[in-house]
Copies of this chain bind each other. A is one copy, B any other.
Amino acid sequence: MEPNSSSNNNNLQQQHQNQSCLEITTMEVHKVVPPPRKSTIQKLKTRMKETFFPDDPLRQFKGQPLRKKWILAAQYIFPILEWGPNYSLKLFKSDVISGLTIASLAIPQGISYAKLASLPPIVGLYSSFVPPLVYAVLGSSRDLAVGPVSIASLILGSMLRQEVSPTQDPVLFLQLAFTATFFAGLFQASLGFLRLGFIIDFLSKATLIGFMAGAAIIVSLQQLKSLLGITHFTKQMGLVPVMSSVFHNTKEWSWQTILMGFCFLVFLLLTRHVGMKRPKLFWVSAGAPLASVIISTLLVFAFKAQHHGISVIGKLEEGLNPPSWNMLKFHGSHMGLVMKTGLITGIISLTEGIAVGRTFAALKNYQVDGNKEMIAIGLMNMVGSSTSCYITTGAFSRSAVNHNAGAKTAVSNVIMSVTVMVTLLFLMPLFQYTPNVVLGAIIVTAVVGLIDIPAAYQIWKVDKFDFLVLLCAFVGVIFISVQDGLAIAVGISIFKILLQITRPKTVMLGNIPGTDIYRDHHHYKDTMKIPGFLILSVEAPINFANTTYLNERISRWIEEYESEEDLKKQSSLRYVILEMSAVSAIDTSGVAFFKDLRKAMEKKDVELVLVNPLAEVLEKLQRSDVNGDLRRPDSLYLTVGEAVASLSSTIKGSCSNPV
């Protein structure tokens, strides 16, 4: 140790140098070999498989006899064949209880959501009859309770109202709603068939939380119409027009309605709270909506309250779903809007259905195949659209009740469906005096659960940018429109990914003394820089979107190295080592980038060394390596440790003659 190299840092570096000299003699250098050769077709096949069949759905068919294959195929298409044969009386008992429970929820919610979509209330009940039957045959989730849901209803209604008035032109409005449902189903089933289910992944959790909360508020605001008894209400959805409509029509407020609404809202929220706190008392919250409907109907009937400012549903038709395939319209001036509505409601309801299915599958430890579920939900909506149903999916709140009530298979959906059928056939006159205000209270109670403040707080804590996405979705939905808010949030999420690619992190690695491990120098403060070497790790695929940046950034790293007096005194920069373990892909711009970088470095008398390029990257680099730069033995290493050990002997004075 020389007396003038006084700093502790230098001492350690000195030690390290001596040690790496020692390593040179003992360390074996491992060769970087090109990956096994694959033809373009093989590569394309692998890529296609990973993109469209990551779950390898045909795995179970491998090596089975033909008969078994047929059975498996039938079970694959109709999951009912899988669990049906083993169905027992015990399971049936559980399913009957849960089926009746969700039916008591489905009937009032069905009526309410249909009104939310500006459709006749009975369409909500139709939609709780046919689709659950279809799902019971095709669906693979055992807990999903199928029926209309609030947000899809809201979007369907608000989008179609842009062009057609449900009051002035009810038949056309109904036709458009069924047609939109058909398109939604077609779109959902196509996503499943084409195995493009990953498209719904682009609705991130943050987007959904913000979107759901915003939509819940919009839906609740719409209920002010029935909760306050206002007759002249705005047709717009935004916060501003609704509030101004509410306060410009204070004369229309009806105290009887407000009193009744307030009482039932408190009752419903209280029972909801009980149901949430004690899952065993699920029947309290599940039965409350139906109880409210019955009690309020009786009250109205007893006091003839419909003549005292309380509006009621009015006469409803009896009978099962009439066919509606003759009402599907595939031409005319509203086609653009109908297809757009189908697309948006389709994707939103699909997201909810798949998420619900996956959540409960994870709880009970079984698998739900996303693409298969999409086909099931899609076909269910296509069948629904020709039997007077509007868009349906698996609803979160109802599925939770189903799960808590002990549902074992999709038979609970069948039980619910039968109960709704009985209602449709015999009980419809009973709803004549049901007040709208109770339906409003039911909707508000149902959507309150969509506002998930703890989850939003958790996102704020973990990732500020995700919170920004959440906020944009929320604010966009409330102030602009439901679909624009969603589009903005998805746009920002994708922009974030692109920004990460455009500005990939490059970190400087240092050596952990006494090892040949190299890690981020700014993260692991005790790592040592090695004189003469600049070791950088690039943490993203290198492609057209970031080569310019990487070029600038690497030259800045080099300049920073050269301005560090300490290091320069010991040895001027000789090698730039790029650790490529995190470069998962490269394109032609990336390949050209390495050529340019090598050329630029040669002018500065610095050599570029690559460490551990991954299979695909290595292959492309070698294929375009006309100068043979990569064929030189000192330009490619398997680990940073080996590269430094092998190259440091060439740095003047680093070993034999320590500075």
Q: Which residues of A contact B (CB under 8 A)?
A: 28, 30, 33, 35-36, 40, 44, 50-51, 54-56, 59, 198, 201-207, 362, 365, 370, 458-459, 461-466, 493-494, 497-505, 507, 512, 514-515, 517, 519-520, 522-525, 539-541, 543-549, 552-553, 556, 559, 581-582, 584-585, 587-589, 591-592, 596, 599-600, 603, 612, 614-615, 620, 623-624, 638-639
Residue of B nearest to A596 (CB): B362
Quote the shortest CB–CB distance from A504 to chain B (angstroms): 7
Residue of B nearest to A30 (CB): B512
B contact residues around A544 at 8 Å (CB): 201-207, 493
Q: Is the CB of A624 within 8 A of B205?
A: no
Quote the shortest CB–CB distance from A269 to chain B (angstroms): 28
Q: Is the CB of A549 within 8 A of B30?
A: no
* With contact pairs A498-B497, A519-B638 given, residues A624 and B584 touching in the complex (Cβ less than 8 Å): no
Bound Cα distance A203, B544 (Å): 8
Q: List 20 A-B contacts (CB under 8 A).
A: A28-B515, A30-B515, A36-B523, A44-B464, A50-B505, A50-B553, A56-B556, A198-B545, A201-B544, A203-B544, A205-B544, A206-B589, A362-B599, A459-B588, A462-B624, A494-B498, A497-B497, A497-B498, A519-B638, A522-B615
A545's contact among B202, B540, B581, B585, by CB below 8 Å, is which?
Answer: B202
Quote the shortest CB–CB distance from A91 to chain B (angstroms): 23
Residue of B nearest to A500 (CB): B585
* With contact pairs A33-B524, A204-B589, A548-B370 given, residues A51 and B503 touching in the complex (Cβ less than 8 Å): yes
Bound Cα distance A502, B599 (Å): 34
Bound Cα distance A258, B568 (Å): 68
Residue of B nearest to A545 (CB): B201
Tell me which of A465, A512, A585, A587 has the highest count of chain B C-beta atoms within 10 A of its own C-beta: A587
Q: Is the CB of A362 within 8 A of B600?
A: yes
* With contact pairs A615-B520, A638-B519 given, residues A54 and B588 touching in the complex (Cβ less than 8 Å): no
Q: Is the CB of A500 within 8 A of B541?
A: yes
Known: A44-B464, A51-B499, A202-B545. 4 other contacts (CB 8 A): A30-B517, A362-B600, A493-B544, A505-B614
Residue of B nearest to A502 (CB): B198
Bound Cα distance A499, B56 (Å): 18
A614's contact among B515, B523, B549, by CB below 8 Å, is which?
Answer: B523
Q: Is the CB of B463 within 8 A of A523?
A: no
Sort A-B residue pairs by CB-CB distance and give the 4 closest, nearest first. Answer: A204-B544, A539-B584, A582-B582, A523-B615
* With contact pairs A56-B556, A498-B497 given, residues A584 and B504 touching in the complex (Cβ less than 8 Å): yes
Bound Cα distance A376, B138 (Å): 63
Quote the shortest CB–CB distance from A645 to chain B (angstroms): 13
Q: Is the CB of B201 within 8 A of A546?
A: yes
Assembly stoichiometry (copies): 2
Residue of B nearest to A202 (CB): B545
Bound Cα distance A74, B596 (Å): 31
B contact residues around A30 at 8 Å (CB): 512, 515, 517
Q: Is the CB of B497 within 8 A of A205?
A: no
Residue of B nearest to A548 (CB): B201
* With contact pairs A462-B591, A463-B620, A499-B51 given, residues A614 and B520 touching in the complex (Cβ less than 8 Å): yes
A584's contact among B370, B462, B582, by CB below 8 Å, is which?
Answer: B582
Bound Cα distance A524, B462 (Å): 37
B contact residues around A370 at 8 Å (CB): 548
* With contact pairs A201-B548, A517-B30 given, residues A466 and B587 touching in the complex (Cβ less than 8 Å): yes
Bound Cα distance A522, B38 (Å): 12
Bound Cα distance A30, B515 (Å): 10
B contact residues around A515 at 8 Å (CB): 28, 30
Quote the shortest CB–CB distance from A553 to chain B (angstroms): 5
* With contact pairs A35-B523, A56-B556, A539-B582 given, residues A587 and B639 touching in the complex (Cβ less than 8 Å): no
B contact residues around A591 at 8 Å (CB): 462-463
B contact residues around A466 at 8 Å (CB): 587-588
Residue of B nearest to A584 (CB): B539
Q: Is the CB of B585 within 8 A of A205?
A: no
B contact residues around A36 at 8 Å (CB): 522-523, 525
Quote the shortest CB–CB distance from A141 to chain B (angstroms): 16
Bound Cα distance A393, B463 (Å): 42
Residue of B nearest to A559 (CB): B59
Bound Cα distance A592, B458 (Å): 11
B contact residues around A614 at 8 Å (CB): 505, 507, 520, 523, 539
Quote the shortest CB–CB distance from A359 to chain B (angstroms): 10
Bound Cα distance A504, B638 (Å): 22
Bound Cα distance A499, B584 (Å): 13
Bound Cα distance A2, B477 (Å): 69
Bound Cα distance A458, B545 (Å): 19
Tell me which of A463, A540, A623 has the highest count of chain B C-beta atoms within 10 A of its own C-beta: A463
A603's contact among B202, B365, B587, by CB below 8 Å, is which?
Answer: B365
Bound Cα distance A592, B541 (Å): 24
Quote the shortest CB–CB distance from A493 to chain B (angstroms): 7
Residue of B nearest to A43 (CB): B464
Q: Is the CB of A549 within 8 A of B54?
A: yes
Bound Cα distance A44, B38 (Å): 44
Quote the shortest CB–CB distance from A409 to chain B (angstroms): 21
B contact residues around A620 at 8 Å (CB): 462-463
B contact residues around A51 at 8 Å (CB): 499, 503
Q: Is the CB of B204 within 8 A of A587?
A: yes
Bound Cα distance A546, B500 (Å): 15
B contact residues around A498 at 8 Å (CB): 494, 497
B contact residues around A44 at 8 Å (CB): 464
B contact residues around A59 at 8 Å (CB): 559
* With contact pairs A54-B556, A498-B497, A548-B370 given, residues A40 and B205 touching in the complex (Cβ less than 8 Å): no
Q: Is the CB of A201 within 8 A of B54?
A: no
Bound Cα distance A615, B522 (Å): 9
